[in-house]
Amino acid sequence: MAAEMLADRGFQVAVYDHRPTAARKFLMAGRGGLNITHSEPLDQFLTRYGEAAHFLRPAIEHFTAQDLRDWCSGLGEETFIGTSGRIFPKSFKASPLLRAWLIRLQNSGVKFHFGYEWTGWDKNNNLTFSHPAQQEQSNLTITSDITILSLGGASWPRLGSDGHWTKYLTDRDIHINPFRPANCGFKTECSNMFKNKYAGQPLKPVLLKHDGMAVQGEIMITQNGVEGGGIYAISKSLRNKIDKDGSTILTLDLKPNVPLDKIISQLNAPRGRDSLSNYIRKNLSLSPVAIGLLQEDRNVSNLNARDLASRIKSYPLILTGVADIDRAISSAGGIALDEVDDNFRLKKISSTYAIGEMLDWEAPTGGYLLQATFSMAVWVGRHID
């Protein structure tokens, strides 16, 4: 996006990418339908960035969700607002948008060089690259007037964002906060029997509560614990608590649309010869996953109707760790925000800018990640002089 803005202004632009093809992580986002942005009012939209909202506001105000939709339309990809307020291309794919975009960039004179991994600067402050797959001219030195680093964080490293760049900036005395998973899964105390039986199955609808926050969504059971949209929405709070205390309790309301008194009444019905699981299923229409979760407590069969109802409305799921960053949707950490100026220029390297996930900000899923990265790129591309 920064290359497009600069090419439109008459700059000669070259893009060096250490993967063999362009935008692999963008294509991965397309596997989920390419939730490209969100339709929330701007002030509410900005709250999703937490303490980084003030830092990102100028760029997002400059290139808004509607601007991004118009940009997609200009590439032949119309968008629509889903029932959740999230915005998607009508094709639900990233590949048609990317194909049209690459053609536009090439037609505007942007040159692409694939398979070149950035290796910092030489003693004359020229950019250096390696090309491991190329036998001849495996090392390259480039002189540029302006450099824009858009090297990603540390999630999904096989797609390109492996964080290898941190050492080159650390050598220049630029402070980088450690990478941590964001929009990620968590490990639980659930038994292996439960995980083996229900891995890959959703728990829905469920209301998740943690540290004063409440989100209704769904949870996906994994071989190691839990993930999914509901988890991602509060993953920052969960991660920070685990980082501090080693574990945390996520409270689940397994019947979020049914009041406690009604559940108690339903559980006071005669049980007859039904097993506990059949009794709960028949009277409450709880899913097998929810029933399996309740049965993780061996004493659940001894609970009276009121206590069982309370457990259903407030199930304490103990989280014992954060899933590996390799499978996190995004990452926190990166270049400290006070290392760049209002135009995302590195204060200690005046000809170099840094944008995107390599900066230390984070946001929940819902289109906020892509919107902010696009907005930063547009801002830089239009403000470089």
Q: Which has the closest alpha carbon to 267: 206, 313, 309, 301?
A: 309
How confident is the model at residue 137, as a pLDDT?
Answer: 55
How confident is the model at residue 134, as a pLDDT?
Answer: 65
By CB neighbour count within 10 A (0-12 exposed, 13-18 middle, 19+ buried), where does 294 fall? buried
Q: What is the rounded CA–CA span in Å between residue 314 and residue 326?
A: 31
The number of residues making up the chain comes to 385
Give the 3-state secondary structure of 329-375.
Answer: CEEEEEECHHHECCCCEECCCCCEEECHHHECCCCCCCCHHHHHHHH
User: pLDDT per residue over 343-360, tens digit each?
Assistant: 999 999 999 999 999 999
Mapping DSSP to helix (H, G, I), strand (E, B) and coil, where does residue 179 land?
strand
pTM recorded for the entire structure: 0.91
Q: What is the rounded CA–CA span in Å between residue 342 and residue 158?
A: 32
CB atoms near residue 251 (< 10 Å): 15
How confident is the model at residue 274, as a pLDDT?
Answer: 87
Q: What is the rounded CA–CA span in Å between residue 343 and residue 59?
A: 9
Q: What is the rounded CA–CA span in Å between residue 22 and residue 51?
A: 31
Q: Which domains does the chain have, with CATH numbers?
A: 2-182+329-383 (3.50.50.60), 186-322 (no CATH)
Place of tokens 């949209």: 229
Are residues 254 and 231 in contact, defined by beta-carbon separation less than 8 angstroms? no
User: Which residues neighbour 111 within 8 Å (Cβ) at sequence distance 6 or greater?
Assistant: 13, 14, 15
Q: What is the rounded CA–CA span in Å between residue 5 and residue 378?
A: 6
The low-confidence residues of the chain, meaning pLDDT below 70, are 133-137
How confident is the model at residue 136, as a pLDDT?
Answer: 56
How confident is the model at residue 135, as a pLDDT?
Answer: 57
DSSP 86-108: EEEETT--SHHHHHHHHHHHHHT
Cα→Cα distances 322→133, 181, 237, 326, Å: 35, 8, 12, 11
